[in-house]
């Protein structure tokens, strides 16, 4: 059985799940990212907008592995939780992050800059 990621606060997880239910229900939504995750000792960043209500370990968002080609896609929260950067530091939540831009706006900007600049 899936154990919910310790990366996300209850509030963030609830909002991600609500967005996931809206998408699964057929709603065409483009919300701002709920959470920004990053590797403090590498160049990876994730802006997440939803969690799959049928698989709560799967999150959707803008993913940037620091290779110059950020893309929209799905990621496993358990894999992010297990991930370590070059110095062995875990993925962190950017506690200062808030966004009013939609995910598609972040994606457009990231494609132009070849990285997530949020």
Q: In this predicted model, what pLDDT tens digit does every residue of 61-95 receive, in sequence order?
A: 999 999 999 999 999 999 999 999 999 999 999 99
**Whole-structure pTM value:** 0.93
Sequence ranges of the domains in the chain: 10-113
CB 95 within 8 A of CB 11: no
Phi-psi region of 96 (alpha: psi -120 to 50; beta: other; left: phi over 0): alpha
DSSP state of 91: P
Give the pLDDT confidence score for residue 118 in this predicted structure.
Answer: 84
Burial 86-109 (b: 16+ CB within 10 A, else e): eeeeebeeeeeeebeeebeebbeb
In this structure, the dihedral spanned by the alpha carbons of residues 117, 91, 80 and 56, taken in order and rounded to 10 degrees, is -90
- What integer is the mean pLDDT of 19-28? 92
pLDDT value at residue 3: 67
Query: How does DSSP classify residue 17?
Result: H
Is the pLDDT confidence value at 5 over 90? Answer: no
pLDDT at 1: 41
């Amino acid at each position: 059985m899936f154990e919910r990621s310790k990366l996300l606060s209850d509030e963030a997880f609830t909002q991600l799940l609500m967005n996931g239910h809206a998408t699964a229900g057929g709603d065409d939504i483009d919300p701002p990212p709920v959470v920004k995750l990053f590797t403090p000792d590498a160049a990876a960043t994730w802006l997440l907008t939803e969690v799959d209500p049928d698989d709560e370990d799967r999150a959707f968002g803008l993913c940037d592995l620091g290779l110059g080609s950020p893309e929209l896609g799905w990621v496993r929260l358990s894999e992010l939780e297990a991930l370590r950067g070059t110095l062995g530091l875990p993925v962190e939540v950017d506690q200062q992050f808030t966004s009013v831009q939609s995910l598609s706006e972040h994606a457009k900007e990231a494609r132009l800059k070849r990285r997530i600049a949020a």
